[in-house]
């Protein structure tokens, strides 16, 4: 135990040392920190021109997803997913509050980790991007037409939804693997009875081919290890999914020591096609559950939240031949599959080398029943029988691997802060370049598909100090862009990123930009409180509820002066933006509303709730500069005492 602690301390000091040799005086020197003029040209996107790629970066502790252009590194948008977002009112407006509903009630934040873009035949199709909420297990689907979150499904029996949200090559499934094993079903158990009693749920969430609608098809209740990362098989290994595990010791305290005892942990290889067949033939056990399924309807501009009450679980012991364990050097983190589907790379994060397993050898070992015991009835294959090769890299702390279009792989090393390029098949290291500092994930556009696009690698760094002008103790994280079109990698750009990007997904802009929606058609607006012309504006009272159907267009609200509202009322502003012109949202803010303001897109309806607490005449106004007369876009609500008998009245245009 002591020696492991010593190693951990050494590794930590090594990382600190490596982290402090940077550019402290603000001047650049040396090959890797200098931006020479030809590098500047490589990332320069002239005014009015477009970037070549979209990059979708997880927001980590921001709970959201950010959209960048490559190679410019310009941030285009933050898409709210699991967190309330004041900029648009997501999670504050009545229509979007249901998106954040869970079995625990509203959880207005999460920790978003790994985005993945939908695929058809193993090639990115640009329809949706999926991302996981790690804290309160959820998977979200975001439309790449509207760049809005369309659906969030909570994942029961899970905790720390980390080995997610990766998709199979026809987007048949998005997986949600639990990092923490827990009692299933949850129970009041002594924690030291962990071993054997806790389970790790790996959930396979089906995705409807046309609509994208998600549903949990089945959950595999695996032994109580930690399931860290995962990737789907593809091409020849399509039909399989691979998950790294740690804590195969099933320890329940001081895991940094106690989960490092075994020389090898496992990659779990799961034949999901076989399990799907089993389930389609009536296999599995339905178990009571309680989880939220939230869907946003783009025609009513409104989300609904439904509580699902059942989940189909599968016990691995009931499907012999569906799951195997591949021994991998201890505590592997990333689990990455080459574009051909033949190799599965496990990165033992305390190791210096990378372990590459062969899918063909794995099948062969299974066929010949060359097992080395089992864990909870799941056969363990022999390390030597499945090993394709080892990348002797000499780096420290390998984490993640992505692939280019020329048969090369790129692996990040967290402790020695570098990206290492190596050749698939010969396992030789071709190049290595430092990152500044402590790199986690990396991304090559299409790198998690049969068809990577190559050209760039983006390194996502955990520590940013010395790279930009300081902004107090908190610095945004840092991404670094490398040109990988030549034999050697070239660092060509640094840019800050928002939150803590874990994984990212990149796609050629041409696959998305033509489908991008510009407005919501007013004549398709099915929101129950939408009005399609200002003369339909009205105010109605139902007991203490006051509903205002309001229109907004440059540069006024209809109605604009409302009287007859009383202290103690609950006022709903249902506001429809009547613009039918790209990029003309209007905003709405009401003084004293205990909620956010709203930003309403052309043709959309959103609702803000306001509970007036004080008598007086209170203004509201448009928050988004929309025309030369934007400042005039305003109105008043007169609030009378609770016992007042003033009737509702309001002014329409010109009255």
Give residues in contact with Cu ion (CB under 5 A). 586, 622, 626, 633
Q: Work out how close the CB of 50 gets to Cu ion at its nearest, in angstroms, rounded to a whole number.
A: 28
Q: How far is the CB of 586 from Cu ion (least distance, A)?
A: 4
Closer CB to Cu ion, 246 or 520, in the complex = 520
List strand residue ranges (DSSP E) for 103-224, in order: 105-106, 116-120, 123-133, 138-143, 149-154, 163-167, 173-177, 182-183, 198-207, 214-222
Q: Give the nearer residue to Cu ion in terms of CB position, either 81 or 626.
A: 626
For Cu ion, the closer of residues 144 and 553 by Cβ is 553
To Cu ion, the closest distance from the beta carbon of 627 in angstroms equals 7
Using the minimum distance from each CB to Cu ion, give the nearer residue, 100 or 633.
633
Nearest in space to 548 (alpha carbons), one of 505, 593, 483, 503:
593
Q: Which one, of 82, 59, 186, lies nearest residue 137 by Cα?
A: 82
Q: How many CB atoms lie within 10 A of CB 485?
A: 14
Looking at beta carbons only, is 450 or 586 nearer to Cu ion?
586
The residue count of the chain comes to 655
Identify which of residues 575 and 633 has a Cβ nearer to Cu ion in the complex.
633
Mind giving me the DSSP string for 249-310? T---S-HHHHTT-SSEEEEEEEEHHHHHHHHHTT-SEEEEEEEEEEEEETTTTEEEEEEEEE
Residue nearer to Cu ion on the CB measure, 204 or 573: 573
Residues 152 and 99: their CA atoms lie apart, in Å, by: 7
Element (H, E) at 366: helix 359-367
What is the CA angle 446-450-451, rounded to 5?
A: 50
605 phi/psi in degrees, rounded to 5: -120, 130
The closest alpha carbon to 186, from 305, 290, 314, belongs to 290
E strand or H helix at 7: helix 2-19
User: Is the N-terminal amide bond of 555 cis, ω within 30° of 0?
Assistant: yes
Q: At residue 251, what are phi and psi to the nearest 5 degrees?
A: -80, 155
Min CB(579)–Cu ion separation in Å: 9
Q: Measured from the CB of residue 631, what is the shortest distance to Cu ion in angstroms?
A: 9
Q: What is the dihedral of CA 133, 138, 139, 140, to 10 degrees?
A: -80
**Residue closer to Cu ion (CB basis): 439 or 633:** 633
Instruction: In angstroms, give the least distance from the CB of 633 to Cu ion.
Output: 4
- How far apart (Å, rounded) are the C-alpha atoms in residues 344 and 388? 9
- Whether the CB-CB separation of 240 and 272 falls below 8 Å is answered with yes
φ/ψ of 272, rounded to 5, equals: -70, -25
Q: CB 582 → Cu ion: shortest distance, Å?
A: 15
Instruction: Give the list of residues 6+ apart from residue 211 with CB closer than 8 angstroms, or none.
Output: none
For the CB of residue 519, give the shortest distance to Cu ion in the complex, in Å.
15
Angle, CA of 469, 110 and 600, to the nearest 5°: 80
CB of 85 closer than 8 Å to CB of 76: no
Say which residues have a Cβ less than 8 Å from residue 332's Cβ, sequence separation at least 6: 228, 244, 245, 246, 265, 267, 346, 347, 348, 349, 355
Instruction: Kindly tell me which of 229 and 633 has the beta carbon lying closer to Cu ion.
Output: 633
- Give the nearer residue to Cu ion in terms of CB position, either 262 or 561: 561
Name 394's Cβ contacts closer than 8 Å, sequence gap at least 6: 352, 429
Return the SS3 of 237.
Answer: helix
- Copy the structure tokens of residue 33: 């920190």
Task: Show the tokens assigned to 458.
Answer: 């983006």
Decide whether 480 or 549 has the Cβ nearer to Cu ion.
549
CB of residue 628 to Cu ion, shortest distance in Å: 11
Query: Under a CB-based contact definition with an 8 Å cutoff, are residues 238 and 122 in contact?
Result: yes
Query: With respect to Cu ion, which residue has the nearer C-beta, 533 or 631?
Result: 631
Considering the complex, what minimum distance in angstroms separates the CB of residue 91 from Cu ion? Answer: 22
User: CB-wise, 569 or 597, nearer to Cu ion?
Assistant: 597
Supply the minimum distance, in Å, between the C-beta of residue 43 and Cu ion: 35
- Only one residue has tokens 């790379």, namely 345
Residue whose CB is less far from Cu ion, 442 or 626: 626
Cβ atoms < 10 Å from Cβ of 7: 12
Of 537 and 622, CB closest to Cu ion: 622
């Amino acid at each position: 135990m002591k020696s492991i602690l010593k190693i951990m301390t050494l590794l930590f000091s090594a990382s600190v040392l490596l982290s402090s040799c940077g550019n402290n005086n603000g001047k650049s020197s040396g090959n890797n920190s200098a931006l020479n003029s030809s590098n500047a040209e490589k990332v320069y996107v002239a005014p009015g021109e477009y970037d070549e790629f979209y990059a979708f970066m997880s927001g980590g502790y921001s709970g959201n997803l950010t959209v960048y252009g490559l190679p410019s590194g310009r941030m285009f948008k933050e898409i709210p997913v699991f967190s309330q977002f004041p900029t648009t009112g997501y999670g504050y407006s009545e229509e979007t509050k249901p998106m954040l509903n869970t079995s625990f009630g509203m959880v207005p934040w999460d920790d978003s980790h790994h985005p993945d873009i939908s695929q058809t035949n193993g090639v990115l199709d640009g329809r949706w991007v999926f991302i996981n909420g790690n804290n309160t297990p959820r998977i979200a689907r975001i439309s790449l037409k509207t760049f809005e979150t369309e659906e969030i499904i909570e994942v029961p029996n899970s905790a720390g939804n980390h080995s997610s949200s990766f998709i199979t090559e026809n987007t048949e499934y998005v997986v949600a693997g639990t990092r923490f094993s827990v009692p299933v079903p949850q129970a009041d158990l002594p924690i030291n009875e962990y071993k054997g009693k806790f389970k790790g749920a790996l959930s396979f969430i089906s995705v409807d081919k046309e609509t994208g609608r998600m549903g949990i098809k089945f959950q595999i209740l695996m032994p109580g290890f930690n399931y860290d990362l995962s990737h789907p098989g593809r091409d020849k290994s399509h039909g399989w999914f691979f998950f790294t595990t740690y804590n195969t010791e099933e320890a329940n305290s001081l895991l940094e020591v106690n989960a490092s005892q075994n020389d090898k942990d496992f990659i779990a290889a799961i034949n999901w096609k076989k399990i799907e067949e089993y389930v389609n033939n009536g296999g599995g056990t339905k178990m009571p559950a309680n989880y939220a399924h939230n869907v946003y309807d783009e025609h009513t501009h409104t989300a609904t939240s439904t509580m699902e009450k059942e989940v189909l679980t599968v016990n691995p012991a009931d499907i012999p031949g569906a799951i195997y364990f591949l021994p991998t050097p201890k505590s592997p983190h990333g689990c990455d599959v080459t574009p051909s589907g033949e190799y599965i790379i496990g990165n033992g994060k305390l190791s210096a080398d990378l372990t590459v397993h062969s899918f063909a050898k794995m099948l062969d070992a299974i066929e010949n029943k060359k097992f080395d015991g089992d864990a909870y009835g799941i056969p363990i294959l022999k390390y030597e029988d499945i090993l394709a090769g080892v990348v002797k890299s000499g780096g420290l702390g390998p984490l993640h691997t992505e692939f280019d279009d020329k048969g090369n792989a790129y692996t990040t090393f967290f402790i020695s802060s570098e990206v290492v390029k190596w050749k698939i098949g010969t396992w030789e290291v071709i190049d290595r370049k430092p990152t500044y500092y402590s790199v986690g994930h990396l991304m090559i556009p299409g790198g998690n598909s049969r068809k990577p696009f190559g050209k760039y690698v983006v390194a996502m760094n955990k520590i940013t100090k010395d790279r930009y002008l300081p902004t107090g103790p908190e610095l945004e994280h840092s991404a670094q862009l490398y040109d990988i079109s030549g034999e050697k990698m070239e660092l060509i750009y640094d840019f800050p990123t928002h939150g803590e990007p874990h994984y990212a997904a990149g796609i050629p802009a041409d696959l998305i930009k033509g489908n991008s929606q510009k407005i919501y058609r007013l004549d398709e607006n099915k929101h129950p409180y939408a009005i399609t012309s200002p003369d339909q504006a009205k105010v109605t009272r139902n007991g203490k509820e006051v509903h205002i159907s309001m229109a907004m267009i440059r540069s006024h609200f209809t109605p604009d002066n409302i009287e007859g509202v009383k202290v103690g009322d609950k006022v709903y502003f249902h506001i429809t933006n009547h613009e039918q012109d790209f990029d003309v949202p209007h905003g709405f803010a009401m003084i004293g509303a205990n909620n956010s303001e709203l930003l309403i897109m052309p043709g959309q309806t959103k609702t803000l709730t306001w509970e007036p607490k004080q008598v007086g005449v209170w203004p509201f106004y448009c928050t988004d500069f929309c025309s030369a007369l934007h400042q005039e876009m305003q109105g008043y609500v007169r609030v009378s005492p609770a016992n007042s008998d003033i009737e509702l009245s309001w002014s329409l245009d010109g009255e």
